[in-house]
Structures are given as C-alpha cells and as structure tokens.
Amino acid sequence: MLFIVGISIAIFLSLLLLIKKNKSRADKILVLWLILISINQIFNYLNFKEVTYKYPNWLGIDFGIPIIIGVFLYFYVREITGNPLNRIPKIVLHLLPTIFIYLLAIPFYKLQGTEKVYIFKNNGLGYEWFVIINNWVIAISGLAYSIWSIILIKKHQKSIQDNFSNTDKKELQWLRLLSFGFVIIWLFSAFFDNDIIFSIVVVFVLCIAIFGINQLNIFNSNSGLEGIKIAEERTNNINNKGKIDSKQPIAKVGKYAKSGLNEADATKIYANLTRMMQDNVAYKDENLTLVELSKRLEVHPNHLSQVINEKEGKNFYNYVNSLRIKEFIKLASLPENKKYTMISLAYDCGFSTKSTFNKHFKLHTGKTPTEFFSNSSI
C-alpha cells in the first residue's frame, strides 16, 4: 500500500507541473526528476510483487534510474540557483555513470527471459560483480550529488543575503532539506535491504508533496528565483552611474582590496546611504535590493556592498533588517501605536513575514518581542 501511495503522489506532482503554464527550464527539469522517481518506484513495486517475472524483458530497465535521479536533483538545484548547465558536453559528463551501468549490463540484457528471472530470484547469481558495482555507483553518485547540491544551496543563500533585503521564499530551505533527505537515502542504501530503502523513498516523495503544498509557487507559478540571477548579473555590470559597463566587474566579498574604492569615497557613500535611510526610510521597501539601492545612490553596487560590510560589519540583508528593527522599536514605544499589533507594525517597517521579523528581533536585541516589551500593553 505504501508503494502505491508513493507512486500516486509522484505521478500527481508530475502531472501538476506538466499542466503548469509558462514553465521555466527549472520547472521542466523538476518534471523530469519527478517522472524518473515515479518510474523508479513503479519498477520497485513491480519487482517487489514479482510482476516483472512475467515480463522478463522489463527486468533491468531500471538499473541506472537511481543514479540519474541524483543527477537531476543536482541539475535542478543548479538551474534554480541561477547556475544552469548549458553546454551539452558537461551535461553528458554527468550522465556518464548512468551510461556506464547500462553498458555494463549488456551481457545481462542478452540473456533469455528465463535466465534473467533465475538471476533476479537468486539475488544476482552469476552477476554478483555487477550487483556490487551497481550498488557502489548508486551510493557514491547519489551521495556526491546530494552533498554537491547542498553546497550550491549554501552558496546561493549567502549570495542572496548580499543582494536582497528580504530572502523569504528565496533561501530554498525546502530544497536543502530534500537534499539532506537524499543523503540519508544513500547512506541507508549501504546498510539496509531494498524494501527498507524503497519505503524511505516513498516517505521522501511524501515530503516533496508537503513542501510543494507549502511552497505553492513551485507548482502554481514561476518561483521568481530566476530573477536572482538577473539581479546578480546587473550587479556585475552596472557602473558608478548605474549604466551598463561590462568592463567594470564586481569584486566579491573577500576581494574588496581590488575594488579601487578609497576611504574618502567610502565615507561619502556611507554618509549618503545613512542620509537616505534616515530621510527616505528606504528600508521600509520590503523588496529593496542592493542593485536598486545603488541606483538610487548612483554608486557601483559592489562599492555599496563594500561600504556596508566595512562600516557596519554586516551584509546588505542584515544591515537593512537591523534598521527595520530599530524603526519597529521606535514605533512600538510610542503610546499612540499601542492600539496596533506588533506584527502590523513590523510589516510597516518592511518585514514581509512574522518569522523573519522574530528572527531579526532576537538577533538584534537578544530577546523575543514579547520579552522585550513585557511591560508594554502592545
């Protein structure tokens, strides 16, 4: 029954994405990934029920599918974090382990149906060497691509904090958790039999469904994460006047020594930034980005990032949200605002979710809002 549930959910999610309008390339990769998971689970179920023994030509079709599932997870992570693989040779390179397994299985495919069934019923008798190699390739490949995906997501999370003041729905925590789930699956594959592993995969599919429901933009509209890459490209090309200048690249964190920004200019930029934040309260714009703020100040985005990092000791994300917390405390302390809820005041200060507000309030004050205003009637 558990297999049927997992298969049904995987197929349902695939269909849901297939009918989605204006699919991005990331959506298409996700569709293929879910379809591969569906096919893998279908074969697991058919093998478990010994249905494939009645149709021996089906035996072995799924040998390489567990390997390519891990590859497509990596492809999807690269696409959604704005680092797509566009060159065919590189894509083929990642498919080589799957191709290798199918080439290695050619002697098995040449056997008669009765011989294939006999081998399957006897745990790969006569093909123990293939079983060992296949299991190792599946485990190593799955573990490697899962960890690789987690590293990419971690880099992405740092990148968006350098460019966005609001990272809600951009941090890909759901995808990071799924990647950790894949790590667990491949680690279990080294110690447990197939029935337990297949059951864990079903639970994994259920998690995809749960995260999909909580991240409605995955299945209903474009996630908007593709815009992060566009913003970063603009950050890397906008010159000091806010115009495109491909000859003036952006130096990233840790490379500010090569940015060419002197102390006098840095002080001037910081003064203008402080004035804009005080007079125009730009931080109240929940969609404020480093690129947008640099255009308003007519400075290079990298120079602005450097100034914030060196003068405030924070990245762009933490700097803007610290200003929002200061503004919130000021507003919440006014007697005339005691009729408003904390969260409504937090929204007025530029926060978009309660969880983000609570996180930054705790970071800034060391207390929860309730603890901080324990003597207040707000």
- The string of pLDDT tens digits covering residues 157-207 is 788 877 887 776 666 777 777 788 777 777 776 566 666 666 777 777 777
Q: What pLDDT score does 227 carry?
A: 46
Q: Which residues of 348-364 are buried (b: 16+ CB within 10 A; e: fewer)?
A: ebbbbeeebbbebbeeb
Is pLDDT of 240 > 50? no
Q: Which residues contact 369 (CB under 8 A, 6 or more apart)?
A: 342, 357, 358, 361
> Which range is least confidently modeled, 224-233, 274-283, 287-296, 331-340?
224-233
Is pLDDT of 94 > 70? yes
Is pLDDT of 250 > 50? no
Confidence class for position 222, pLDDT limits 50, 70, 90: very low
Strand-pair partners of 164: 289
Q: What pLDDT score does 191 carry?
A: 63
* Distance, CA of 304 to CA of 322 (rounded, Å): 17
User: Could you give the percent of the chain with pLDDT greater than 90?
Assistant: 24
* Distance, CA of 286 to CA of 86 (rounded, Å): 33
Q: How much is the mean pLDDT over the chain?
A: 80
Confidence class for position 259, pLDDT limits 50, 70, 90: low
Confidence class for position 288, pLDDT limits 50, 70, 90: confident
Q: Which two tokens stand for residue 292?
A: 């947008």
Is pLDDT of 257 > 70? no
Q: What pLDDT score does 71 carry?
A: 93
Q: Which residue has the tokens 């990148």?
A: 159
Q: Which residues contact 362 (CB under 8 A, 6 or more apart)?
A: 368
Q: What pLDDT score does 192 carry?
A: 64
* Distance, CA of 255 to CA of 309 (rounded, Å): 12
Most confident of 18-27, 80-89, 244-253, 340-349: 340-349
Confidence class for position 251, pLDDT limits 50, 70, 90: very low
Residue-wise pLDDT tens digits, 49-84: 889 999 999 999 999 998 998 899 899 888 888 788
Most confident of 105-119, 168-182, 246-260, 343-357: 105-119
**Residue with more model confidence, 311 or 177:** 311
Closest CA to 214 of 276, 169, 263, 269: 169
Q: Which residue has the tokens 């023994």?
A: 53
* Distance, CA of 185 to CA of 312 (rounded, Å): 43
Q: Which residue has the tokens 């093998």?
A: 47
Is pLDDT of 225 > 60? no
Q: What pLDDT score does 171 carry?
A: 63
State the CB neighbour count (10 A cutoff) for residue 217.
12
* Distance, CA of 283 to CA of 352 (rounded, Å): 12
Q: What pLDDT score does 64 carry?
A: 92
- Displacement of CA 167 from its chain's centroid (Å): 12
Is pLDDT of 230 > 60? no
**Residue with more model confidence, 143 or 100:** 100
* Distance, CA of 341 to CA of 326 (rounded, Å): 17
Residue-wise pLDDT tens digits, 110-146: 999 999 999 999 988 999 999 999 988 988 888 899 8
Closest CA to 58 of 70, 73, 43, 71: 43
